[in-house]
Amino acid sequence: MAYDVDFTNVSTVGLESSPVAEALAGLRANEARYFKNKFDHTFSTQPAHEAEAIVDHVSRILKEERDIVIGSPALEATQFEVDGVRWSYVFYESGLSVNVLWTLADGGKRAVGFKLSDGMEVPAELADFKFARQKSKLAGTIRGSYFVIKGEY
């Protein structure tokens, strides 16, 4: 069942099993606000078990590009297209959010982004990445990193 993420009244719906559920909900709401304000797109997620193709797609890119396997269970996922870009998101129980940005036009931007919820430690599988900090009213301090995708998926 899809959940339209509300960034006005932040909810932990679908994220309750996370030890940082409140911070992860804020991170998810921060993404929802961005897409609503920039593209007038409603950010909707679904339980990971209902979005296995999205979770598998993101996992494949991580594995093939950087030999990364996320150790935490996926809780929610979404995929949508706005302004010529396909976005895939997976939210993990640990508080990690992974997104894949894939510009549909040839030669466009293609990258994987990582965001860590406030209070979450950097997972061992991402220890080699440097994380920049960003403040958010919805999510506290977000730490983020990324890498450029080289392959075709």
In a domain, 21, yes or no: yes
In a domain, 57, yes or no: yes
Record the pTM.
0.95
* Residue 102: partners with Cβ closer than 8 Å, 6 or more residues away: 85, 86, 87, 88, 108, 110, 149, 153
In a domain, 153, yes or no: no
| Strand positions, DSSP E, the chain | 3-4, 44-47, 74-82, 85-92, 96-103, 110-116, 132-136, 140-148
pLDDT at 138 over 90: no
* Residue 69: partners with Cβ closer than 8 Å, 6 or more residues away: 59, 62, 63, 125
With bands split at pLDDT 50, 70 and 90, how would you rate the model's confidence at 1?
Answer: confident
Domain span at residue 127 reads: 3-148
- How many domains are there within the chain? 1
pLDDT at 124 over 90: yes
List pLDDT tens digits, range 67-117.
999 999 999 999 999 999 999 999 999 999 999 999 999 889 999 999 999
In a domain, 115, yes or no: yes
